[in-house]
Structure 1
């Protein structure tokens, strides 16, 4: 696939705008977004901005439901594991960020393990993941998971054929064991096309704020696209079990993928809003002998802005 220079620039600009939207999502209020909806002269914004506004509105609504889900999980002491898998640049990190954006990190936490060290390579394969499993009242999101063995380790030759086959024998029983112990396991695969990954990699190459996301392994994965496809198909076929099925998220459109994934996630639980006692702010106690001492000037951060 070839793009003209102008088309590539427009694509990179759209990706940059999407990055800026991550910050806007924390700024814009869904209950009163009129300032964002109109231009400075009061006229309606263009179609693209209208689409972004519609996305924000829906995202905020879903994030409000995620807060309710969080409270329900904490109150009813549920244990939840959510796995996010997919090719490099498929958008896993983006949806994880939107899920956790407004949640309590003591209830909802993210696990993104680095490559195993020499000691971990000698352990039972699932051993390094087990300490991160949830206790009662917790939801754990794995940004990549034990399925590394079925993907990158297989394709890049980081495991033997025997270890690969043992993984497929073990993982269904491992997940069934988790489910029997009371842990709900949800598995998402983010699916993008060859062309879309190519464009996202180009965007990262030309965006200084995203170049850190490109590793030599990511670049090698482009060359081995077909090997990863075969590995993915085998993984889905051999580990799609009733107790912990796979769910495929169509992720070529980043924003739609985020909304669809969060909407689907909410539908996996019979949650309801938890009644909270009314919060009454207590009056501040004032003592006549209290004296606030000034902070030494050398300790104060300079007000450059």
Structure 2
């Protein structure tokens, strides 16, 4: 009789373990990025997929063709909502373009996590929606770090320019404001231009060229991402000037440019870690565990 009880208990434990394992295998999340045309988002995709593999779950990553395709990203989210995912992580192109679909996800009881690019919290709340967590870099601090670096390279000050991302974009605006506010604390600096280039390399090349033509004594350019910074580097080469260029993100090509003595520095984010953290956070939410709402992933300066 005792042997039978032991056997029954053992079979129950095996059955329970198999059930838990099956449930873990059944977890399926979606991650909606901006575009995989930018190495920043490719790195984040890798973080999502590799952490999913480690956790024994599925994460399907989606992105649109370019960072300007606002409506396409909204339609992508609409499609994702029809596929019964257990959780969704998203990085909106603008602070408001995905609010309607976040609200629909809430109505379906799907945990939603905002990653890197921030949704407008007030507008979301006004629409009746919410996110469970915001995983991000402190973009304002990134701009400040860039300004500190420029000031360290130009002790006598000088004219500087900012190449912004897309107009109205939360992360780009925060980086711009961080740089502008911090450089103003150093004597002798003047921000002579602050213009968007839509995260685009060619547009940034044009903006940098135009700014340098108007200000022959320009000393530095801060760019809100590395793709634009690489365009600015090319513009500096084209005119043969000694202008400091600082980027943001720490993508491989930018790091190589820094090592080659072309770009002066980049403030590196860690998109891979953001993807990893998003997967871990969604798993906790599905399990009913508490998570921090505001999760900061550190950045670092990479300089020549």
What is the TM-score when the length of structure 1 is the normalising length?
A: 0.31
Greater fraction strand:
2
Higher relative contact order (CA 8 A, sep 6+): 1
TM-score by length of 2: 0.31
